[in-house]
Amino acid sequence: MVVRVARPGVIVETGVFDGESSAVILQALSDAGRGQLVSIDLPAGDPIPGSTDRMRETRLPPGMAPGWLIPHSLRSRHRLELGDSRELLPKILSGYPGIDMFFHDSLHTLDHQLFEYRTAWPRLVPGGLLLSDDILWNAAFHRFCRAQRRRYVRVAGGTFGAVRK
């Protein structure tokens, strides 16, 4: 819903897994007739502690790559980079003058989330959105928003957070 309303030009997301969220984002971009999604994922061939180990499906199906659920018709707006976001996120963000939206859904540890939020925040355009899934797994999202002196909203039973720059 937020992608449909905001109509972003560039979205960067971390954590793809099977690509369900990516497909929804890409459909909204397609419907708007604009925008690009750049995704970073560390493939979950085995359960990843602090991330996929808490999910119903803890690893990708055998032989399947991250984003395997994304329909081919939506892939023209998608760029998938495989690797650790600690290495890839700064490089990817440096390739854009600014991004409209950042979506964290990768490793849900306090340190990793804070790293991603702190790395993406300066690259968000004024009014851009920082989104995060599973914000109740630890205090990273709350701490980050408090440090930025920004109020945030929680949706989806309080597990999904959004803050505007």
Residue by residue, pLDDT tens for the chain (165 residues) are 899 999 999 999 999 999 999 999 999 999 999 999 999 999 877 767 777 777 677 788 899 999 999 999 999 999 999 999 999 999 999 999 999 999 999 999 999 999 999 999 999 999 999 999 999 999 999 999 999 999 999 997 889 999 999
Would you state the pLDDT for residue 152?
97
Domain count within the chain: 1
Distance of alpha carbon 12 from alpha carbon 108, whole angstroms: 17
Q: CATH number of the domain that 82 lies in?
A: 3.40.50.150
Q: Is residue 154 part of a domain?
A: no
Q: Is residue 18 part of a domain?
A: yes
**Residue 23, C-beta contacts closer than 8 angstroms, at least 6 positions apart:** 69, 70, 71, 74
pTM above 0.85, yes or no: yes
